[in-house]
Each structure stands twice: as structure tokens, then as C-alpha cells.
A and B are shown apart, each in its own frame.
Chain A
Amino acid sequence: MPELVLPSGILSSMAAWRPESAREEASARDEASDEALAERVCATGDVAAFGLLVTRYRRRVVALARRMLTAVGTEEAEDVAQEAFVAAYDKRASFQRGQPFRPWLYRIAVNRCLDRLRAQARRPGMVEYGTVPEPALAGADPIDALLTEESEARLQDAVAALPPKLRAVFLLRHLDDLSYEEIAAALGLPIGTVKTHLFRARAQLRQALTGYLEP
């Protein structure tokens, strides 16, 4: 019988977003929570407070845009991310006091991505192909690095093949460790539907990565 060692903290991706630059550290040390900053922006249109939120969430929103849109490079993903932040500022009146900030922001970002996907579908000739492959980790074994690159390329293709709603649920779960409730709030879906979408997405991806997930 295999030892039932349950995974712990596998999906805790918060470490990936730990700030490194001095400016990011200053904003991270700022004691105001995301919700407090958002309420300040909502009440007074405080651009500086909004800038702190942009700094905190930039990489996450760019990552979401890049993985939702699949066939785009970093530059276009950053354009979409900037559009999402500008839209969030424009819609600041819709942020309600007491509401968590992350689902609200990701809802706007996912909407922007879905709009871009619909625009791409209407103009198939305009889709950009050939994203820049991720460089291998420094010092990593070349065979392991190749396998990782292949795995990630396979994962990218498999995620691109998911329907947009399943893709959004899967990415939000792995992007920022959002709970089912937060994903449901972000996408306007019932919690049961979120769970179903997530399980279906994982099952499809596991099938697509057959051979790449073995020890």
C-alpha cells in the first residue's frame, strides 16, 4: 500500500509573488490591506493607493493574461493586464466595502481576457503564434530542463485546448491559491460549478500530459 502522504502547501503559490525590488518591498510593508486600499480608491479616487495595488498584483494579472490568452507574448499580455487595471480603476465604484479585493480584480481581468479571446476568434488571421520559450533554470541538469520545457509546452497546449471557462477556473486556482468561493465570486459561478469545472480541467490536463507526469 502506498504511503498516504498527503501533499501540503502544493498550491501555495504566494511565495512566487514575494517582492524583490525595494519599491515592491515598501508597498508590501505598507500596512494597508488590499481591501483598505481599494476602499480608499473607491471613495476618493486616490491614484497613489491604486498604484500600490497595481504594484502588488502586476505579475499575477500579467500571468493570468498570458496563460488565458495562450498564443500571445509577454508584451501583449502586459497590454491586456494594463487594460484590466485601467478598467478596474474606472469601475472602482463597483467595489463594495467589505468585499474581498482579489476576486473583484480577477473578475475584471478575466473579462478583459475573454473579450480579447472573442476578438481573436473573430479575426483568426490576427492570432500571434510562437511564444518565446521559457529559459531553463540556471544550473539545472540539461536533461531535466528539457523535460521541464517539454512538459510545460505540452501543458500550454493542453490548457489552450480547454474551453475558456474551464481555463479561467484552473488558472485562478493555480495562480493565487483562490478558494472555490473566491473563484465563484470572481467568475459569477455557483461553487458546485467551479468544482466541476476544476476537476474536469485537471482530468483533461492529466490525460494530455500522459507520460510527462510519471516519476
Chain B
Amino acid sequence: MNCLQVDNLIQTSLDRVLTLSEKERLADHLETCAGCRAAWNEHPRLARLAGRWVAEAGGSRENGDVFTAQVLAQITSRPAPVSPSAPLWGHPLAAMGLLLAALALLPLSVWPDLPTVGASAHALPGWLLANGRALPADMAAIWATAQSGLVVPSWLWSALLVAGAVNGLFYARLTQSRRKESVS
């Protein structure tokens, strides 16, 4: 055994009882190594010193009632903590739903003049002309209904987009603060 292994074994002896084999190996090494014999004496002294030093920091036994009363006063004088369930702002599903709704409504407000089959060529947007495509008849009917019955101003999809983004930011912050509570 080298001295590093012996030092580990000495420290282990502070935390648990060594096996017979470990004791024998340790004793054999200590017979011949003055440095490790010093470690064998010093580690327990350090442990005793540390134990006393830590215990002394606990303060007086006399002020316990005052301390406890102060803690309980802080607890009972505050409003109830927020429920751990997911809040409205910061809910991941709400954020995703708002963003998807905004994306779905975006075409209805951005392209209100999307033509149906049979419309004159000049009404078609450039990309449709370039591809030579147009809406099929059933989709054209749906589109016409949507245009006539559903007024989707641009501010609505913008509001949904912003709401979704803000909700997502709240969720990110909540996740970050919850993660901070666990010691890394």
C-alpha cells in the first residue's frame, strides 16, 4: 500500500470500523512509515477539534424559545404561499396553445385576398403565378366562408403571439427558479 492509500484508509477508519484485513495492512504500513504514523495521530485530533469547533457555533442553549417564536411569527404573519400547481402564466401547454392559435390565424389576416379557382390572373399573388397553382374548389369554398364569416384583424394574431411568447418566458423563469432550489 502507498501512503495515499493509507491516508484514505486512516480517514475511512474515522467513518466506519475497518475490516480485519484493512487493519492488518494498515498496521504493517504504519510500522515502517513515520509520515503515516503522524497522519494516524493527527486525523483523529482534527476530527475532535472540528467536532468541538462546529458544536460551539450552535450558540447559547438559552435563546431557543425566542428563536423558535421568531421563526413561527414569520411563518404565521405572511400570506399563504402560492399553490405549487402550474400557474396560468407560465403553463407550458397554454404557451404552446397560444402560439399555435396565432400561427393558425396568421394566414387569415395576412392574406385576405387569397383567390379561389377561376379568379382572374392579376388577382393571384406572384408565387402562385410562378408555380401555376391555385386553390382546389372545396378549399376555395372553405376559404370564401372563412373570409366572409370570420374577421381576423392582424392585431388579434399579434396579441396571441405576444401572449404565447410571454407565457413561454414565464414558464422558462419558473423552471429556472425551481431548478435553482436543488443543489447542483
CB distance from B80 to the nearest CB of A (A): 9
Query: By the criterion CB–CB under 8 Å, are B183 and A134 in contact?
Result: no
CB within 8 Å of B: which of A1-32? 1-2, 4, 6-7, 10-11, 13, 16-17, 19-21, 23-24
Query: By the criterion CB–CB under 8 Å, are A180 and B15 in contact?
Result: yes
Residues 8-44 of chain B, each 1 if its beta carbon lies under 8 Å from chain A, else 0: 1001011101100001001100110000011111111
CB distance from A19 to the nearest CB of B (A): 7
> Is B53 an interface position by the 8 A CB rule?
yes
CB distance from A185 to the nearest CB of B (A): 10
> Is B61 an interface position by the 8 A CB rule?
yes
**Considering the chains assembled together, what is the distance between the CA atoms of A82 and B183 in angstroms?**
19
With a CB–CB cut-off of 8 A, which chain B residues contact A134?
Answer: 56
**Considering the chains assembled together, what is the distance between the CA atoms of A155 and B52 in angstroms?**
11
Query: By the criterion CB–CB under 8 Å, are B7 and A89 in contact?
Result: no
With a CB–CB cut-off of 8 A, which chain A residues contact B2?
Answer: none
Q: Select A199's contact among B11, B54, B57, beta carbons within 8 Å.
A: B11
**Considering the chains assembled together, what is the distance between the CA atoms of A82 and B67 in angstroms?**
8
Residue of B nearest to A173 (CB): B15
**Considering the chains assembled together, what is the distance between the CA atoms of A140 and B125 in angstroms?**
97
Residues 172-198 of chain A, each 1 if its beta carbon lies under 8 Å from chain B, else 0: 011100011000001111000000001
**Considering the chains assembled together, what is the distance between the CA atoms of A16 and B50 in angstroms?**
13
Residues 61-91 of chain B, each 1 if its beta carbon lies under 8 Å from chain A, else 0: 1101101101110111000010010000000
Chain B interface residue count: which class?
35 or more
CB within 8 Å of B: which of A191-215? 198-199, 202-203, 205-206, 209, 213-215
Residue of B nearest to A196 (CB): B8
With a CB–CB cut-off of 8 A, which chain A residues contact B15?
Answer: 11, 173, 179-180
Residue of A nearest to B17 (CB): A6
Q: Select B55's contact among A16, A82, A170, beta carbons within 8 Å.
A: A16
Residue among A114, A151, A213 with most chain B CB within 10 A: A213
Q: Select A54's contact among B7, B14, B23, B71, beta carbons within 8 Å.
A: B71
Residue of B nearest to A210 (CB): B42
CB distance from B67 to the nearest CB of A (A): 5
Query: By the criterion CB–CB under 8 Å, are A7 and B64 in contact?
Result: no
CB distance from B98 to the nearest CB of A (A): 29
4 extra interface residue pairs, beta carbon distance < 8 Å, beyond A111-B181, A175-B54, A209-B42? A20-B61, A21-B64, A63-B55, A170-B50
Interface, chain B (partner A; CB < 8 A): 7-8, 11, 13-15, 17-18, 23, 26-27, 30-31, 37-59, 61-62, 64-65, 67-68, 70-72, 74-76, 81, 84, 181-184
Question: Can you list 27 residue pairs at the A/B interface with Cβ under 8 Å?
Answer: A2-B37, A6-B18, A6-B23, A7-B14, A10-B48, A11-B15, A13-B51, A16-B55, A20-B61, A21-B65, A23-B65, A47-B72, A54-B71, A55-B68, A66-B57, A67-B54, A78-B67, A86-B74, A91-B181, A114-B183, A187-B183, A188-B182, A188-B184, A202-B46, A205-B50, A206-B46, A213-B42
